[in-house]
Amino acid sequence: MTPQIIDLEQQRFDGMPVLGSHRPGYSYHLYRRHKDTLREQPGTLPRSSASGVIVMNEHAGTHIDALCHQADDLHFYGCSSRADALENYDGFSEGGAESIPIIDAPGVLLDVAARSENGRVPPRTQVTAQDLEDCARDQRTHIEPGSVIFVRLGNDINWDNAERYLDGPGIHPSASQWLATYRPIAVGTDNVAWDLPGLSRCRLGGSILMRRQVRFASVSGPSGTSTDQRNRCTDGHQSLRQVAHKRTLTF
């Protein structure tokens, strides 16, 4: 099958869905205006220029988490020291997203939303291991070890409504454990947090706690959230090559 690149980025705008701890989500302001620069031009040259300023938290919008984003008792996976010894004003000396290699791996979509009423999983519902197993079976989807696995909840259709999006469904710990058996390189879903914030806590293999966004730390994999998976759903759930051609550096 010919490799495909599918853009999973959700549009960024002021007021888009974002967790309270990740504010400000996104704000763009026109800083330099044409009428201002035209006055600054010497002589009678009619040329002018304009430019803007972007203020954005790197965990707002579609993104991939670095391993250093979450810590268990000030430790995160694969790093040599406590988190507080590795963090400084300009980021982390270990575990940052810049250390994540370009991801070129089989991509798998588990479209749980397609099996739900109205094409989306109900708000505040947890998708279980049984849900994923049934979905993969019904789709006749084979998951290879080392894949990138996306779970579509149908929450992507609420992106223009922050209140609805933030009240979306999540992944149950049993589903996280089921996915981890396939040793994925990365996982992603269409909500602001992999599981339901403040509700689920589980461990994989005695490793880092999985909270808010599953890290799959025991298999050294990051996670992505707030993805737009509607285009991907037109591909018949076939295994695609998922190339991470765009990535915000996230800490």
Residues 51 and 153 grouped into a single domain: no
**Mapping DSSP to helix (H, G, I), strand (E, B) and coil, where does residue 119 land?**
helix
- The answer to the question of residue 73 being in a domain is no
pLDDT at 159: 94
Residue 127 is assigned to a structural domain of this protein? yes
Do 144 and 41 belong to one domain?
Answer: no
Residue 95 lies in a domain: no
Residue 5 resides in a domain: no
pLDDT tens per residue, range 153-162: 999 999 999 9
Contact between residue 202 and residue 173 where contact means Cβ atoms under 8 Å apart: yes
Which residues partner with 108 through β-bridges?
Answer: 149
Judge if 222 and 108 occupy the same domain. Answer: yes
Residues 42 and 150 in one domain: no
Please state whether 15 falls in left (phi above 0), alpha (psi between -120 and 50) or beta. left
Note whether 235 and 126 are same-domain residues.
yes
58-107 pLDDT, tens digit per residue, is 888 888 888 888 888 888 877 788 888 898 888 888 888 888 888 888 88
Q: Is residue 221 part of a domain?
A: yes
Listed in sequence order, the DSSP H helices in the chain are 34-40, 83-86, 129-139, 162-166, 173-180
Q: How far apart are CA 135 and CA 133, in angstroms?
A: 5
**With b meaning 16 or more CB within 10 Å and e meaning fewer, what string describes 149-160?**
bbbbbbbbbbbe
Spatial CB neighbours of 133, under 8 Å, sequence gap ≥ 6: 178
Q: Say whether pLDDT at 238 is over 70.
A: no
**Residues 151, 231 within the same domain:** yes
172-224 pLDDT per residue, tens = 999 999 999 999 998 999 998 888 877 755 555 433 333 333 333 333 345 66
Task: Please indicate, yes or no, whether residues 193 and 106 belong to a single structural domain of this protein.
Answer: yes
Q: Is there a single domain that holds both residue 219 and residue 113? A: yes
- Whether 114 and 190 have beta carbons less than 8 Å apart is answered as no
Q: Specify if 144 maps to a domain.
A: yes
Residue 239 above 60 pLDDT?
Answer: no
Tell me the per-residue pLDDT of 51-60, one tens digit each, with 9 for 90 and over: 999 999 888 8
Q: Is the pLDDT of residue 227 over 50?
A: yes
Residue at 212 is within a domain: yes
- Number of independent structural domains in the chain: 2
CA proximity to 182, closest of 241, 250, 105: 105
Same domain, yes or no, for 35 and 131? no
Contact between 235 and 109 (Cβ < 8 Å)? yes
Domain of residue 213: give its range.
101-243
**Same domain membership, residue 223 and residue 111:** yes
pLDDT tens for 110-135 read 999 999 988 999 999 999 999 999 99
Domain at 199, CATH number: 3.50.30.50
Q: What's the chain's average pLDDT?
A: 80
Q: Are residues 131 and 35 in the same domain?
A: no
Nearest to 226 by CA among 178, 170, 142, 172: 170
Asked if residue 105 belongs to a domain, the reply is yes
Q: Per-residue pLDDT for 169 more than 90?
A: yes
Residue 52 β-bridge partners: 30
DSSP 62-96: SEE--GGGS-SSS--TT-SS-HHHHEETTEESSS-
pLDDT at 77: 79
Same domain for 117 and 46: no
The model's pTM? 0.77
